[in-house]
């Protein structure tokens, strides 16, 4: 019934209403699909049945009624079943021109629905590329000056999606004056706009050295650091993300440190959000790498208790990042090793030897190898009954021929034989 050429199907659905047009029939079918798209399991069935390409056939500006109905179903489908709808949205690439055209439609509902749909499907890299090629960047930039906070928010979300890990997208945004507009919205009165602006800036910063230099030049690092103290988790998370991407550039690490960014980043390690913690941990790693003075700043800001505490996080990636970061603080610093030892770090690393993630087991073994080189570390290992755990972990490493893990465990046990 969605296919205008399928007259037999249209007649069957129309039933007794012989006067029903094919558009009428299509809208009725889409009304049913709109309800189904939100039902558990129905989204997968709709994608498998080929509903997406049938809906895309109705993205025609000359027929605004069916187009509105089709976009409503596509939007609900993309939100309710992202796992299966994601690949299907790539079929929307040829229809990007119609969606971009609808943004300028005098039909306010049609323009709004198009903006909402583009904000969702632009998360797909293929759709994002098609949008950039279709001239979306300058068009979307115009909406950043819209009087409606909702329009600004959606435009910022699209900007972020088009720039995420895309140097081409970030440079296109820079060349049309987008960076200055995004930075101006960091202090927007509407919180949803402010959050979207920080998110977009973070993805702009992921566009390589040129973008990092441009972000540094507009002077918004202090603003991002200040936002880490916001009571809103979304602002903290997106600010941490932006600072992480900026910390990847050697141009920005010094200014972040000089603006007291390290204590602010350490503070958000205590966030309740694993996403915020991950970006903060990554940023801290970048800033502290090979710089003893920066590590001292972090230690003075109480980074070590936070890092040891995160070793017991329920989030596996947070555990791994905490292990890596602690290694950087402890490998060549006896004083830091002593602090970690007093905080119960040895027991935490021993428990991680049985972790199901290989990378976490390896990092735990590497840390224990380092700690057992000193008498205090060996005493800490014995004090938490860690020696039998090391022996069992070594047996398992030998059985699985994990030579790297076995090497660190053997080294730790060898240190124990000094006593």
- Could you write out the DSSP letters of every residue in 224-255? HHHHTT-S-HHHHHHHHHHHHHHHTSHHHHHH
pLDDT value of position 18: 46
DSSP character at residue 148:
-
pLDDT value of position 19: 45
More confident residue, 1 or 156: 156
**Mean of the pLDDT values across residues 222-246?**
95
Per-residue pLDDT band for 87 (boundaries 50, 70, 90) equals: low
The per-residue pLDDT for range 300-336, each reduced to its tens digit, is 999 999 999 998 899 988 988 888 888 888 877 888 8
User: Which of 110, 190, 111, 204 has the alpha carbon at shortest distance from 157?
Assistant: 204
Q: Say if CB 200 and CB 182 are below 8 A apart.
A: yes
The per-residue pLDDT for range 368-407, each reduced to its tens digit, is 898 888 888 888 888 888 899 999 999 999 999 999 999 9
Provide the token pair at 143: 């909406």
pLDDT value of position 190: 95
Q: Which residue shows structure tokens 């279709």?
A: 134
What kind and span of H or E run contains 6?
Answer: none
Per-residue pLDDT band for 10 (boundaries 50, 70, 90) equals: very low
Those residues whose C-beta lies under 8 Å from the C-beta of residue 298, and which sit 6 or more positions away, are 262, 263, 266, 284, 287, 288, 329
Phi-psi region of 135 (alpha: psi -120 to 50; beta: other; left: phi over 0): left
- Maximum Cα–Cα distance across the chain: 95
Helices 149-163/167-175 angle, 10° precision: 130
**Burial class of residue 408 in the structure, from the number of CB atoms within 10 Å of its CB (0-12 exposed, 13-18 middle, 19+ buried):** buried
Provide the token pair at 368: 């224990």
Q: Say if CB 220 and CB 187 are below 8 A apart.
A: no
180 pLDDT higher than 60? yes
User: Which of 220, 208, 303, 227 has the alpha carbon at shortest distance from 255?
Assistant: 220
231 pLDDT higher than 50? yes
Per-residue pLDDT band for 266 (boundaries 50, 70, 90) equals: very high
Q: Say if CB 240 and CB 265 are below 8 A apart.
A: yes
CA 18/CA 206 separation, integer angstroms: 57
Three-state secondary structure call for residue 147? coil
**Torsion of the alpha carbons at 190, 195, 198 and 201, rounded to the nearest 10:** -90
Q: If you average pLDDT over every residue of the chain, what do you get?
A: 87
For residue 109, which phi and psi values (nearest 5 degrees)?
-65, -40
251 pLDDT higher than 50? yes
pLDDT value of position 283: 97
86 pLDDT higher than 70? no
5 pLDDT higher than 80? no
CA 109/CA 106 separation, integer angstroms: 9
pLDDT value of position 47: 80
419 pLDDT higher than 80? no
Q: Which residue intervals of 301-402 are DSSP H helices?
A: 303-310, 316-330, 334-342, 345-352, 358-371, 375-383, 387-399
Those residues whose C-beta lies under 8 Å from the C-beta of residue 162, and which sit 6 or more positions away, are 122, 128, 131, 132, 136, 137, 140, 169, 172, 173
Q: Which residue shows structure tokens 């709709």?
A: 46
Portion of the chain with pLDDT greater than 70, in percent: 92
CA 196/CA 193 separation, integer angstroms: 5
CA 91/CA 53 separation, integer angstroms: 7
What kind and span of H or E run contains 202?
Answer: helix 191-205
pLDDT value of position 169: 85
Q: Say if CB 249 and CB 284 are below 8 A apart.
A: no
Portion of the chain with pLDDT greater than 90, in percent: 41
**Mean of the pLDDT values across residues 210-221?**
91
More confident residue, 26 or 98: 98
């Amino acid at each position: 019934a969605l296919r205008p050429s399928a007259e037999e199907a249209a007649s069957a659905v129309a039933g007794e209403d012989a006067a029903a047009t094919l558009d009428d029939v299509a809208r009725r079918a889409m009304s049913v699909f709109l309800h189904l798209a939100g039902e558990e399991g129905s989204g997968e069935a709709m994608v498998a049945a080929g509903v997406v390409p049938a809906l895309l056939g109705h993205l025609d500006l000359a027929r605004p009624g069916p187009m509105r109905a089709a976009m409503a179903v596509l939007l609900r489908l993309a939100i309710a079943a992202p796992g299966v709808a994601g690949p299907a949205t790539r079929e929307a690439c040829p229809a990007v021109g119609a969606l971009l055209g609808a943004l300028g439609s005098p039909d306010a509902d049609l323009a709004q629905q198009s903006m909402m749909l583009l904000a969702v499907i632009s998360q797909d890299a293929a759709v994002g590329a098609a949008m950039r090629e279709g001239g979306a960047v300058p068009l979307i930039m115009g909406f950043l000056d819209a009087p409606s906070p909702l329009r600004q928010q959606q435009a910022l979300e699209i900007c972020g999606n088009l720039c995420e890990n895309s140097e081409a997208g970030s440079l296109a945004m820079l060349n049309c004056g987008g960076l200055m507009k995004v930075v101006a919205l960091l202090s927007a009165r509407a919180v949803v706009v402010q959050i979207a602006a920080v998110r977009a800036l973070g993805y702009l910063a992921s566009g390589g050295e040129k973008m990092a230099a441009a972000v540094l030049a507009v002077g918004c690092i202090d603003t991002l650091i200040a936002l880490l103290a916001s009571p809103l988790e979304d602002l903290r998370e997106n600010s941490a993300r932006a600072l992480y991407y900026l910390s990847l550039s050697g141009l920005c690490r010094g200014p972040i440190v000089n603006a007291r960014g390290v204590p602010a980043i350490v503070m958000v390690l205590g966030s309740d959000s694993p996403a915020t913690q991950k970006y903060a941990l990554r940023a801290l790693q970048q800033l502290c790498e090979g710089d003893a003075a920066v590590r001292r700043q972090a230690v003075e800001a109480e980074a070590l208790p936070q890092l040891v505490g995160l070793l017991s996080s329920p989030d596996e990636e947070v555990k791994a990042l905490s292990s890596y970061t602690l290694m950087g603080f402890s490998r060549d610093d006896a004083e830091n090793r002593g602090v970690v030892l007093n905080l119960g770090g040895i027991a935490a690393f021993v428990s991680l030897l049985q972790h199901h993630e290989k990378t976490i087991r390896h990092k735990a073994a590497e840390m224990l190898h380092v700690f057992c080189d000193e008498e205090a570390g060996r005493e800490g290992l014995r004090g938490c009954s860690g020696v039998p755990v090391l022996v069992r972990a070594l047996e398992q490493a030998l059985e699985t021929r994990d030579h790297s893990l076995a090497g660190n465990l053997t080294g730790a046990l060898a240190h124990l034989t000094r006593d």
